[in-house]
Each structure stands twice: as structure tokens, then as C-alpha cells.
Homo-oligomer: A and B are copies of this chain.
């Protein structure tokens, strides 16, 4: 295949050899700008390696700038020689980065499609049936019956103040303090993260993210033309040694990370790691965005960067989408006063405002104790589903990265399986799986998948796993 040969005896990894071979052919001008690389399957067959290996090699070529991936079409040689080591000019990198934002969209669209015949074990949310739609509807009827609920006009710029007051109470419980003036309500946590990113990052900037991490975030950062650098996760949070090394090499403008019930590994930050991450951040003057979208599912005391740091360099983000309703689209952020002012402006420019009516509904559910009861019920149900799910996965030979102690995600692998192929097979059985490469900043190959415990009880999963 273009004269690229593989030596299984070589000390270099197979993927390394493919990367080297392709770069050599680009430098030799055998492969020229705009030429299409062989499809993954074809390359794997020709070289006698797994598709898995080719995916890893192609990904690294894309990351190096030598190759560009075009959605639904394949991999193409980029902008002539020289190849592998070349640093492309900033605008090109930005263009490619933005283009790659779209790599994941198909999976996301599929997961959101209203198709009750599929089991969405790859989804990042609970089945609608688990949430308390009836309770929400009752509360909504009451609210709709009262006058002056500001159903027709624009809300306040930072969002409904009484809900911000309630959030202050919750933050106090988490061990950090934010008056309502330091809180902005948003259209879900996704908008909160987007507002923060648009404020702090410019095209070509570098952002550190969790690896694995939240892939919708990666897509929205790529859309801004931001270069992503993954900080490896351990079960106790970011790998501090790796973070330190990466900080020597890159100049990130922000580190966006999950502390509690990390998506996708369900790991929780330890006190030691929290302290060391903040020390490193201080040394490198690095702002940190702490995304706490799943934190409410944690059953006990959890460590949060915001609590150690006191919202000095930490920007805290959360949401009610995973616990009360994704449809109402209510999220929030909390930060230093001068940052909050800018975030509010960006919210105004890009969406005018959030829905005060939805914010009132959430507020009423909070003060009535409905929220607390809902969370307790969901935690109990999830714990049971998680026990059963772990057993099921264990029987099927999957090993979890860490034993989840709450939340909905299991990050698990069976090293002999290619998750991308497994997901393709599963789709034929009406099962939507989430292969682990989706959760990696450069879509690098991995043997892990993310399973949502709330869906693992479906008998189709058991049948499918038994048959592989």
C-alpha cells in the first residue's frame, strides 16, 4: 500500500510504523496534497494489522497536521510536504480543528433521535421514565395558574434571582460561597461552558481537557478553533505528574475538568489530587473550569476544586438537566465578580436571556424539597442498577476502569474487542453503544466503552453481550 511496510519484529509499535511510513511517503511526494489515504479497512487488510491500529495511526497523523479527516469521506493528505513533524500555520490548524468538531455529530444526533425501539446504553442521561415528569407537571400547573409569572417578557440578565439565592445555599453545602451576584443562570451547562470558552479562548489557543472526557465539550471547543490537549485521568482525578509535564510543554488558557462522578469514568477527585492540581494551576496561572453536572448523584461527601479554591481561579459550572429535566434547559455558572460580569454580557449578546419561567419552576421544586427527594430516590435506583450492571458486564468479560460509587456511568473494557466494531454490531441489534474513542480529545483509539447503568437492565443488552 503506497510502499508502506510493517515489521512486526520492530521495537516500534505498529501504529508508529504506519505514521512513519505515511510521513515518509508525503516527504517523498508519493502522497501529495489532497490525495485520499486508503480506507481504514483496506489499509488494515493490506498491512495485516487490526483496524484499531490504523485508526490510531490516522488519528495521530490528523493530530500532527499531515492528514485531514473529512466527514463521511475519509482521510486526505494535507498541504504537501514536509509532513509529520511540520507545524501547520495557525489558520490552517484552526480550519481543520473546526472541521473535526463535526466528527462526532452523527452519534449525538442518533442518541437524541426519538426512537423508542433502541436501547441507548451509550446515552449521557437517565431514561425519561426515571425522572419525575408527573411531579413537574403538577408544579407547572400551579405555576401556570398564578399571575405575574413573567411568561411573556425577557428575564433578568443573570437569571431569576431567587433561584440564584437557592444555588447559594447549595454551594454553601458544598463548601464554597457565591452570592447571587456571582451566579449566572444559563441554557443548560452546555451554554455555560460555551460562554466560558468564548470568553477565555481565541482560535488557536490551547485548552486542557480530561482524557477521557466529555465529548460534546470537545466538539464545541473545536468549533471555536481551540487546540485540545488531553490530561490523562486516574481514578482519583487528573494524573498530576502528566499534568505537570504537559504544563511544561504547552501554554493552556484553561483546564476544563470534572471533579465529581467524572464523565465517563465515574471517578472522584481525591483531596490530595485536588490540592496538587490547584498548586500547579497557581504556578502556571491557569484558570480552571470545574464542571459538576453529575455531582448531585454523589451519595456522600465529595471533594470539589471550588471548595478548596473559593472561586478564585475556579469557574464552577452545573445543571439541572440530568436530575430534574433536560427539556427545561436550566444550568448555571459561578465565578469571580469581574468574570461574571463578562459572562453575563456574552450571554446577552449570544442568546439575550434564559427562560425565567423555567427558572421559576426549578426554584419552586428546590424550595419545596422536591429536588432533594427526587435525588435520593434516583440515587437509590441507580445504585441498584449499577450493582446489576457491573455484574452483567463482569460476566461478559468487561473490566471497569474504576468501581463507580455513584452516578450512572461505567467505563469498561474488554481488551480483545474493538469498541468501534462492537458499536457497529450493536446498532444492528437496536443498541446504541458509546465507544471510548468518542470521549478522547483526538478521538484516539481505546479499548474502553462508556455504559449507562440505567439502560443495562434491558434484556436485549444481556442477549447481545452473551452472543459476542
Q: Write the residues of chain A forming the contact surface with B, with a CB cutoff of 8 angstroms.
A: 91, 94-95, 98, 101-102, 105, 108-109, 112-114, 125, 128, 131-134, 136-138, 140-141, 144-145, 147, 149-157, 187-188, 190-191, 194, 198, 202-203, 216, 219-220, 223, 225, 321, 324-329, 342, 344-346, 348-358
Contacts and interface: CB of A to CB of B under 8 A. Distances in A.
Contact of A151 (B91, B136, B152, B220): B136
Given A151-B136, A153-B125, A203-B202, A188 B112 contact: no
B356 A191 contact: no
Contacts of A329: 187, 351-355
Given A187-B187, A352-B326, A354-B329, A131 B152 contact: yes
Contact of A154 (B95, B326, B344): B326
A223 B346 contact: yes
Nearest to A215: B349
Nearest to A150: B327
Q: Give the number of times this chain occurs in the complex, counting copies.
A: 2
A355 B354 CA distance: 11
Contacts of A98: 202
Given A140-B144, A144-B144, A325 B156 contact: no
B350 A194 contact: yes
Given A137-B147, A152-B326, 4 more contacts: A109-B157, A114-B156, A137-B149, A191-B350
A303 to B, nearest CB: 27
A352 B152 contact: no
A95 B94 CA distance: 16
B156 A132 contact: no
B150 A349 contact: no
8 contacts: A109-B157, A128-B153, A132-B152, A140-B140, A190-B352, A220-B349, A327-B356, A355-B358
Closest 5 CB pairs of A and B: A131-B152, A140-B144, A128-B153, A105-B345, A219-B349
A178 B84 CA distance: 46
Nearest to A356: B327
A191 B352 CA distance: 9
A72 to B, nearest CB: 11
B152 A144 contact: no
B140 A152 contact: no
B109 A348 contact: yes
Given A150-B128, A326-B154, A216 B101 contact: no
Given A144-B144, A356-B327, A348 B105 contact: yes
A262 to B, nearest CB: 19
A348 B112 CA distance: 10
Contacts of A326: 152-154, 352-353
Contacts of A220: 349-350
B325 A152 contact: yes
Contacts of A348: 105, 108-109, 112, 216, 219
Contacts of A188: 351-352
Contacts of A346: 223
A348 B194 CA distance: 12
